[in-house]
Chains A and B, each alone.
Chain A
Amino acid sequence: AQTVTQSQPEMSVQEAETVTLSCTYDTSESDYYLFWYKQPPSRQMILVIRQEAYKQQNATENRFSVNFQKAAKSFSLKISDSQLGDAAMYFCAYRTNAGGTSYGKLTFGQGTILTVHP
């Protein structure tokens, strides 16, 4: 079974600075997707960024970018020019692209609480 590990329970960053959140995963599959979701105090899960495993190019979305290292099974999120609104819990998630009983299932890490200091 796939597992996702976020080794940083909490992180903090100064406003306008850059922070990197770590995520590692364990899988024997070669075709899958990785996601970062943000959960603000409202608790609604918001998609931040998505990476397809067969693409070597790292995904970027405005101030958010990932460092995807497939061989190392690492998927870190970099937030540049941090803003107060970035404060939230961030979850890394894995989704297989295979069919069967795991179809569509997202496996989540335990989350990292990000605090942004003004």
Chain B
Amino acid sequence: SQTIHQWPATLVQPVGSPLSLECTVEGTSNPNLYWYRQAAGRGLQLLFYSVGIGQISSEVPQNLSASRPQDRQFILSSKKLLLSDSGFYLCAWSVGAGSDTQYFGPGTRLTVL
């Protein structure tokens, strides 16, 4: 069966510091991968998605970037965090170009002080 991992689970970082959040998927090959952000416990906003190694699509301009160095690894990064980057970050995966359903990881709670 497929599983998705995210780490760290929680993170407190000062403004201006770098960020690296990692997401890995097990039990499947060539998944589509997604990064979402949830602010204030409400709706999720898609930040990035990737349909293959090295392929990244950005949905909104922001202070963040994403990379996919391996088939089942997706990394969310920032060179300098802003207060507005605080939130709950969720990684998701899906398989297939048709009726694929997205399955979510446990998430990372990021607080920028």
Contact = CB atoms under 8 A, between A and B. Distances in A.
Interface of A: 33, 35, 37, 42-47, 50, 52, 89, 91, 95, 97, 101, 103-106, 108-111
Nearest to A42: B106
Contact of A108 (B32, B43, B99): B43
Nearest to B50: A104
Contacts of A37: 104
A64 B109 CA distance: 29
A52 B99 CA distance: 8
Contacts of B41: 89, 111
A44 B38 CA distance: 11
Interface in B80-113: 88, 90, 92, 94, 97-107, 109
A88 to B, nearest CB: 11
A35 B42 contact: no
Interface residues of B, number: 30
A106 B44 contact: yes
A111 B101 CA distance: 19
Contact of A111 (B32, B42, B46, B98): B42
Contacts of B28: none
Residue of A44, A50, A106 with most chain B CB atoms under a 10 A cut-off: A106
Contacts of A44: 104-107
A110 B57 contact: no
Contact of A105 (B43, B46, B105): B46
Given A89-B41, A106-B44, A101 B57 contact: yes
Given A43-B88, A44-B107, A91-B43, A106 B98 contact: no
A97 B99 contact: yes
B43 to A, nearest CB: 4
Contacts of B38: 43
